[in-house]
Amino acid sequence: MTITAAIVGYGNLGRSAEKLIKATEDFELFGIFSRRDNLDTQTPVYPVADAAQYADQVDVLLLCLGSATDIPEQATGFAEHFTTVDTYDNHSKVPEHYQKMNAAAESSGHLSIISTGWDPGLFSMNRVLGQALFPQPVQNTFWGKGLSQGHSDAVRRVEGVKRGVQYTVPREDAIAEARAGGGEDIVATEAHARVCYIVADETDHDRIREEIVNMPAYFAPYQTTVNFISEEEFERDHLGMPHGGHVITTGDLGGSQQSVEFTLELESNPDFTAAAMVAFARAAARLAEAGETGARSVLEIPLYLLSTQDHDTLLAREV
């Protein structure tokens, strides 16, 4: 089955999804729906307001929209016309998003897989798997080293900052402690450091450093380091979007201590998020083809549906 996919929203994730769909054999790309009309791409671009009229030509729609406002405001509208997959990452509101998407997809007869990506997404699956293995699991999630968009935006708002990025860096000793079974007392704010790289005039350095390290919520509770670098160094070393992390679960199994770990080291957060999204888009298209409707979380998707191979092949080769 060749799956015809379309993308809505052409930011970092939309660009990564475009690249990946074109490189994936069982997919073809119908086009991109955007609020903007002059995108820098060879792919056909359609006004997002007209998306519904193309619904019967698209097997699955990748919602590459922002989680802050786009997804809460627009996702159900797309589920009324399309099979969808999204990467909604506002963890505390995921159950609410699920309910809304379920109602929209059920009533329109479509299928929507929500909150794919890596966290939520692959990390969620691994948290559940890790917890299932132990009577009393001890589990920690560490994020990074990775570029945080929200914290980078916050440093760029400090007066005098010309360029700025912030990396979240997990403490190696905390990771080692979690692996050794001592994760129970690890607090996320103490287990992660924040490292900033800033371009600014030298006369502003001391004030900018003070303002950043004392910024409430964003930096004050964390061990924060502010490095001032040249424009050239910034251009050379800080334009990528690396990320990653670890889900570590340990537990006692009647006298024996075990440790289970899932690790990601990502050179590009959007490229990897798009990869997870495309795998779940494959599952969504197959479930829709089989007549299933409503919302699904990543926990409800049988693993074999993510694969390009069929179940019989996987059974013979991987089980």
Residue 82: exposure state from Cβ atoms within 10 A (0-12, 13-18, ≥19): buried
Extract the tokens encoding 73. 């405001």
Taking the alpha carbons of 280, 284, 290, 292 in that order, is the dihedral positive or negative?
Answer: positive
Q: Provide the residue type at 283 as one letter.
A: A
Query: What's the rounded Cα separation, in Å, for the pair 113 and 297?
Result: 6
The token pair at 186 is: 């690890």
Q: Which is nearer to ligand NDP, 22 or 35 (CB)?
A: 35
Compute CA distances 100 → 73, 114, 220, 249, 294, whole Å. 11, 11, 36, 32, 10
Stretch that binds ligand NDP, among 9-17, 53-61, 104-112, 254-262 (CB under 6 A): 9-17
* Residues 113, 105 contacting (CB under 8 angstroms): no
Rounding to the nearest 10 degrees, give the CA dihedral for residues 35, 39, 45, 46.
20
* Of 33 and 226, CB closest to ligand NDP: 33
Is 243 annotated as a binding-site member? yes
Which of 76, 83, 87, 148 touches ligand NDP (CB under 6 A)?
Answer: 87
124 binds ligand NDP (CB under 6 A): no
Residue 11 vs 160, nearer CB to ligand NDP: 11
Q: Is 141 in the site for ligand NDP (CB under 6 A)?
A: no
* 203 is annotated as contributing to ligand binding: no
If binding is defined by CB under 6 A, does position 120 make contact with ligand NDP?
A: yes
Query: Cβ closer to ligand NDP: 92 or 256?
Result: 92
- 12 is a contact residue toward ligand NDP (CB under 6 A): yes
Minimum CB distance to ligand NDP, residue 12 (Å): 3
**x/- contact string, 154-183, with ligand NDP (CB under 6 A)?**
------------------------------
89 is an interface residue for ligand NDP by CB under 6 A: yes
Does residue 11 touch ligand NDP according to CB under 6 A?
yes
What are the phi and psi torsion angles at 265 (to 5°)?
-125, 105
9 binds ligand NDP (CB under 6 A): yes
CA distance 284 to 59: 9
Does 13 contact ligand NDP by CB under 6 A? yes
Which residues on adjacent β-strands are paired with residue 143? 245
Task: Give the tokens for residue 61.
Answer: 């729609």
Sequence length of the chain is 319
Among 4, 46, 66, 103, binds ligand NDP (CB under 6 A): 66
Burial of 295 per CB tally in 10 Å (0-12, 13-18, 19+): buried
Q: What string marks each residue from 237 to 276 as x (binds ligand NDP by CB under 6 A) or -?
A: --------------------------------xx--x---
Q: Which two tokens stand for residue 126?
A: 């691994």
Size of the site for ligand NDP (CB under 6 A): 24
Please give the Cα distance from 161 to 155 (Å, whole number): 7
Which residues are documented as binding site?
10-13, 34-36, 64-67, 87-89, 116-120, 143, 168, 194, 243, 269
Which residues are documented as binding site for NADP(+)?
10-13, 34-36, 64-67, 87-89, 116-120
Which residues are documented as binding site for substrate?
143, 168, 194, 243, 269
Binding site for ligand NDP (CB under 6 A): 9-14, 34-36, 48, 64-67, 87, 89, 117-121, 269-270, 273
